[in-house]
Structure 1
Amino acid sequence: MRRTGLVAVLALVALLLAGCATVPGSSDVSVLRRVGDPAEPSAPPGPARGAGPLEIVRGWILASGATAERHSAARAFLTPAAAGGWDDGASPTVVSDRVDTVFVQGNGRSEEAVVRIRADKLGTLRPDGAFVAAPGLVDLTVNLTATNGVWRISGLPPGTIVRRADLRANTRPVRIWFLASVGGAPVGETRYLATSPARSVSSRVLDELLSGPSDDLRGAALSALPPGALLRSAVGTTPDGATTVDLTRVGPVDSLDAGRRAEIAQQIVLTLAGVGVDRVALTVDGAPLLAGRGELGVADVLAGLPPTVRERRDLPSDGPAAAAPAAPAPAVVVTGGRVLTVPEDLTDTRATTPDLVTGVDDARSASLAPDGRDVAVVGYENGVMRLFVGRSGAAVTPTGIVGRVVTRPSWTPDGAEVWTVVDGVPVRAIRPPGPGGTLTPVALDTAQLTGLGPPATLRLSPDGTKVALVADGRVVIATVVRDPGGGARLGPVRVLRPGPVGEALGGVLDVAWAQTDRLVAVGTAPGLPVQIASVDGLELDSPTTTNLTPPVTAVAAASERPVLVVDQGGLWSLPPTGGDVWSSVPGGANSSVPSYPG
């Protein structure tokens, strides 16, 4: 978490004093800060005896994150009339952890006061728990009244203001699982589920599934559950411990083909796995959804997916009894014009690896396909950059994709397509099935990127539904929308975490997906050369910078793999669990370009 320094606080005070003649010179400023362990109580205490107007407003904000009993904790800071009329059902406004309060009228010594609230807005939380980024500034006032010396809020706008810290303390992120609009592979979306009451967690997470994908996935994902589908009864438990889910308004079971029923089961089982449910007894209007399958677990669902899909690391685990996954394909680094694999032991100074490919003399970047069998390489040929492709460990062949600048390639999850940026224009190329097929450029509608500047980096998400680009030092997230005919376009586009210094992603030079919902961005931001952001824009953190010499020019990341970055001193790694220092990777240079498969 970052805190603005005292200079910013004093500047705000000066601005308020200069710009509002009604603010008396003796007005106090109260600053809310997140203190201590993030596991804060979900139900903060009520108003303290003798609390003044600023403390009452602060308490209301701190309590607004606790949703239990229609925000009863927050209502305790309101007068009875205000508590009865307050509309707490509007989408909560999520702000940074610092909130400023200042008197606009009164000073706590009379019986009336008006307090101004200012904070950096991050976005809003939809009723279904999806966070919608909408950076801006919260600037509003609340009225307070003192009765027999007891201050309470008597007038306030609809909705709640929730600090990011309080959202973390009172909700848990869960993955809601939908289906790719083409191909039907699982697509997860993060929602924030209130932790209280605990007894209804399973029902509430299914309600969010039934609400369908958010606008952020429009065109990229869909649900096998029809609009209007509901839970017929509360989620329960069988005598042997399985969770019971009975749906209605889905239609007669006999009217659903086997594929549709399997997709519904997949969505429900994977979603409930995120809240600790390992077995589900699934029915529709009391009849089993899958004949002869009284209970389903994650292993059953994964077994029905293609091998290339069920091995994705973003999917729920099917438990400790699952077979050990195959060893992941290695990371690749291009150094000195050569394409090399990164040694498994990143600290072994004696480790050497042979060239991964032949056929290109001056490589500049490369990426392995997700299964590690194929490799795409960007290198120079006759003075221009060209994309090459071939089998790992063999000679690559040139493609027709050439330009003055061709960026590091990125593969779709199935290994059928390679995406890159050629002279500032995103390019999509398809390879026919089987070994040795050449890449053929195909149309990619990028009209949604107009006005954002030419992209300098492009990386497809591990599930293939989004693409992260770097344009004018900003991270841009675009949804990949496909059609059954094989076409693709970039759908909804947004800049990830714009805003004030310390709360924004700026000066970015490269980006990589650590998970389907998390990215690592590197660049020139002062004091923040490496930043980790959630794809919805809610979270933004920075790991240690010890041993790094900014600017950081390149990054590679993957689920449960060390983060690799390149700075002015060479190639460095940080364990997936984090750490206090970055470790030097032997053989790296300040011109190296690393990548993980994908």
Structure 2
Amino acid sequence: MSGTTVRRGRTLLALLCCLLLAGACANIPEESTPEVVTGDQLGQISPDVPEPAKDADVLTVVREFVHASAKPAGDNAAARVYLDEESRKSWQPARGMSIIDNTFGTVYATGEEKPADPNERVVKVRGFQLGRLGSDSAFIPTKMPYELSVELRKQVDGQWRIVNPPPNLVITEEDFAKNYLRVPVYFFAQDPSALVPDLRYVPARPQSELPGRVVDLLLAGPSEGLSGAVRNPLGDDAVLDNNVNPTADGALLVPLSGLEDRSENEKQLIVAQVVRSLQNVTVSRIRILSDGAALVDGHVDWRPSELPSYEALVAPSADLPGLMTLEGRIRSLADGQPIPGPAGSGAYKVQSAAQSIGGTQIAIVEQTGNGVRLRVGEFGGEVPVVEQLGKTLTRPTWRPSSGPNAASGEVWTVVDGRQIVRVLRTPQGAWTPQPVDATDIAAIGPITDLRLSRDGVRVAAIAGGKLVVASVVRSSDSVTLRAPRVLQEDALGNVVDVDWATQDTLVAATSLQAAPVARLPVDGLRIDKFSGSNLTPPVTAVTAAPSRSVVVADSMGLWTAGEVGEVWRPHPQSPGADAVPFYPG
């Protein structure tokens, strides 16, 4: 055999070894520290992880396995102890997981599924799935019955162990809340430059690894639900040079590379992404490096207080108190007086209205003899008619403007419960409607309400009485609402109104006495119900905004509350029934 052949053989062998090791590391969960292991080491569990109780019955083994699956530390070691020796070595659960209700059943399989061998058992895990955690660590609500078949075999020592562990983890809602932490990871709206929270869930322990987990999520890009709706200044080329770790002088080091060609403006946006994403998992200064040097020249360490206010354009100013419609007029929530101009004087028979986030524009749905029509114009002045779009129009909602001194050029409404339209301002100052592709939302049911998030990235809609959230994906000449998700379908039936309390929190009003008003995150993982005390059903309207009290309308008038646990107080300007309050947006 020639020396060339030997060298080629050695090269091929080395290459194969590298590929095998790379494949093994690719399946190591992010919860553990990656290291190369041999076949004998796979499935080895630390002595600190207790084995199941001796002589535990089959149903107990399965139930405890489900609860232990919520603990990801040590390559899911807490759950792995419930497996037989072969499965302990081979089990590599996917990153996603099913989250089920806290109350679930475990029963023996019957009929043809019942094993003939007395040393084997099949157990059915039955419950109700609340949702799943995707591979991007984002929660996706998927309400449906859940069933899992688990096979067990009695071992030589007489203990029952699982021999077919599920490829996807299944954990209860309570266990998930105890072991996983919700963190917002930040990207940017397409226009304006507003930071947008993208909710993710990471293992809460060990706490020292949280910053690294968050940076990994940030570098991986937006979740599937926001893909195409936000922009990521970090891009696809940014990588970590080393681990995210504390430094000797107390800063948190984020060593990046792949950013050498970015503009100074892009670097500032990247700093904002990283610092804001880390602010919930560390109080340290953030030291962001690019190829070993400060990412932004002359500024090495960052704190959240040093960032510009990227949300200024997407939150109503404190000097805009909000408005209400009453008896065909628009009035101020501050003093109850009609606003200036024909919209306040009664010249228009106002059915519903929306004030732009900056406060300088108004959109009105006006009742006419033939139905309704839309008016859009300057606040306090004449408000020109756009055109009669249909027989019914939902309350309008504004897209944010592109700059601090710019007017908004886009307002949305729903026509006849089916078609969502965005009305665009032309260069000549006129307004023209354009359809929005909302096929997936319309398929859920008639659309009776629609609110754009104040950053313009998401919509909250009421379709068929259900609360739906979708992302707004824009191209050069069209807009599509994608990835619609129904939130808390069981707890929030008969939804009548909704508004954005923050960029990632909604407040909804329903006709249900058990939950007249509720607050929930944009992914719908949980729900917090406001007290029903003092309210007189039905609740007909709700409005909310950042750093504002929630205002609702019921059969007696307007009521306000700052937090979920507060008792509703009469609004100072409550005029009685039929008023509809609204904050800018």
What is the alpha-carbon distance in structure 2 between the residues aligned to residue 588 and residue 470 of structure 1? 27
Cα 1:526–1:578 change in 2 (3 A) is closer
Q: 1:332 aligns with which of 300, 318, 323?
A: 323
Runs of 5+ unmatched residues, structure 1: 1-42, 314-325, 344-351
SS at match of 1:165: helix
Residues 425-434 or 65-74, more deviating:
425-434
| Equivalences for residues 135-284 of structure 1 within 5 A | 135-147=143-155, 148=157, 150-248=159-257, 250-251=258-259, 253=260, 255-277=261-283, 279-284=285-290
Counterpart residue number, 1:421 = 414
Deviation at 1:572?
2.3
What is the alpha-carbon distance in structure 2 between the residues aligned to residue 115 and residue 411 of structure 1? 53
Counterpart residue number, 2:65 = 60
What is the alpha-carbon distance in structure 2 between the residues aligned to residue 307 and residue 540 of structure 1? 28
Matched, 1:356 2:339: yes
Deviation at 1:307?
4.7
What is the alpha-carbon distance in structure 1 between the residues aligned to residue 565 and residue 527 of structure 2? 17
- For 1:198-240, what per-residue CA distance to the aligned partner results, in whole angstroms no more than 9, with x for missing partners? 1121111000001111221122112122325321011233444
- For 1:234-280, what per-residue CA distance to the aligned partner results, in whole angstroms no more than 9, with x for missing partners? 123344422221112x15x2x32222222222221221223234532
Matched to 2:555, the amino acid is Q
- For 1:92-130, what per-residue CA distance to the aligned partner results, in whole angstroms no more than 9, with x for missing partners? 1112222222222589xx754322111212222123321
Q: 1:492 aligns with which of 482, 501, 520?
A: 482
What is the alpha-carbon distance in structure 2 between the residues aligned to residue 156 and residue 242 of structure 1? 42
- For 1:327-356, what per-residue CA distance to the aligned partner results, in whole angstroms no more than 9, with x for missing partners? 25212221222322224xxxxxxxx42112
Q: TM-score, normalised by structure 1?
A: 0.79
SS at match of 1:97: coil
Cα 1:221–1:306 change in 2 (3 A) is closer
What is the alpha-carbon distance in structure 2 between the residues aligned to residue 184 and residue 549 of structure 1? 42
| Equivalences for residues 361-372 of structure 1 within 5 A | 361=346, 362-372=349-359
- For 1:344-402, what per-residue CA distance to the aligned partner results, in whole angstroms no more than 9, with x for missing partners? xxxxxxxx42112431322222222223333323232455423334444x234132143
Q: 1:529 aligns with which of 508, 516, 538?
A: 516
Cα 1:52–1:589 change in 2 (3 A) is farther
Matched to 2:510, the amino acid is G
Deviation at 1:45?
7.3
**Percent identity between the aligned chains?**
34
What is the alpha-carbon distance in structure 2 between the residues aligned to residue 428 and residue 122 of structure 1? 33
SS at match of 1:155: coil
Q: 1:72 aligns with which of 72, 77, 96?
A: 77
Matched to 1:104, the amino acid is A
Counterpart residue number, 1:542 = 529
What is the alpha-carbon distance in structure 1 between the residues aligned to residue 201 and residue 247 of structure 2? 28
Matched, 1:117 2:129: no
Deviation at 1:429?
1.9
What is the alpha-carbon distance in structure 2 between the residues aligned to residue 88 and residue 113 of structure 1? 22
Deviation at 1:142?
1.2
What is the alpha-carbon distance in structure 2 between the residues aligned to residue 438 and residue 99 of structure 1? 58
User: Of the two, which has the highest radius of gyration?
Assistant: 2
SS at match of 1:568: coil
Instruction: Report the RMSD for the aligned CA atoms in angstroms.
Output: 2.9
Runs of 5+ unmatched residues, structure 2: 1-47, 402-407
Matched, 1:97 2:135: no
What is the alpha-carbon distance in structure 2 between the residues aligned to residue 119 and residue 514 of structure 1? 32
Cα 1:564–1:455 change in 2 (3 A) is same
Contact 1:522–1:529 at 8 Å: present in 2 too?
yes
SS at match of 2:103: strand
Residues 401-410 or 194-203, more deviating:
401-410
Contact 2:141–2:485 at 8 Å: present in 1 too?
no
Deviation at 1:50?
4.8
| Equivalences for residues 576-591 of structure 1 within 5 A | 577-585=563-571, 586-591=573-578
Q: 1:342 aligns with which of 330, 333, 343?
A: 333
Cα 1:427–1:44 change in 2 (3 A) is farther
Contact 1:430–1:440 at 8 Å: present in 2 too?
yes
What is the alpha-carbon distance in structure 2 between the residues aligned to residue 568 and residue 307 of structure 1? 35
Count of residue correspondences = 520
What is the alpha-carbon distance in structure 2 between the residues aligned to residue 544 and residue 417 of structure 1? 36
Deviation at 1:466?
0.9
Matched to 1:329, the amino acid is L
Q: 1:475 aligns with which of 467, 474, 482?
A: 467
Cα 1:48–1:211 change in 2 (3 A) is same
- For 1:56-97, what per-residue CA distance to the aligned partner results, in whole angstroms no more than 9, with x for missing partners? 222111111111111111222333333223232341111222
Q: 2:299 aligns with which of 287, 293, 298?
A: 293
